[in-house]
Amino acid sequence: MPFSGKLCYNKEKGIYTCAACKQELFSSDEKFESGTGWPSFYEVISSGNVQLLKDDSHFMHRIEVVCSNCGSHLGHVFEDGSTSTGKRYCINSLSLDFKKKGEKE
Ligand SMILES: [Zn+2]
C-alpha cells in the first residue's frame, strides 16, 4: 500500500534497519523522494547486508531485495537510471525500522 508507511516521509537522520532482525540496511543519506510513495534509496549501507533475488512473479522480471541475515522480504530494486548509482531500492516501510542518529541501542 503506497503512501501508507510511516517511514515514507521520515526526514530524520539515521539508519534504517531490518524490522525483523535489526540488521542495518540503509542510511537516511541515501534516501530520496521518488514520488512513488515508497521509501527509496540509492544504495545499500553495505552491499553484504541485503541479498538480491530474481523475482519473476506477476509476469514481471524484477529483482527482489531481502535481508541477508534473516531473509525478510524488503522490497525491489530497479535499474532505471534515475539516480546517480543507476539503482533505485524501493522498500516497503513495514519491513524497515528506524534508528535515529545518536540514539542508543
Ligand atoms: Zn533481517
Q: What is the pLDDT along the chain (105 residues), one digit of tens a residue?
A: 455 556 656 678 999 999 999 999 999 999 987 777 778 999 999 999 999 999 888 888 899 999 999 999 999 999 876 677 889 999 998 999 999 987 665
- Residue 59 to residue 73: CA distance in whole angstroms: 19
H/E element, 8: none
Active site residue 90: yes
Ligand 1 centroid vs 25 CA: distance in angstroms? 9
Ligand 1 centroid vs 21 CA: distance in angstroms? 4
Q: What is the CATH number of domain 15-100?
A: 2.170.150.20
Q: Supply the pTM of this predicted model.
A: 0.81
Task: Name residues with Cβ closer than 5 Å to ligand 1, which is an ion.
Answer: 18, 20-21, 23, 67, 69-70, 72
**Domain boundaries of the chain, sorted by first residue:** 15-100
pLDDT, position 1:
45
pLDDT, position 58:
84
**Contact predicate 66/53, CB 8 Å:** yes
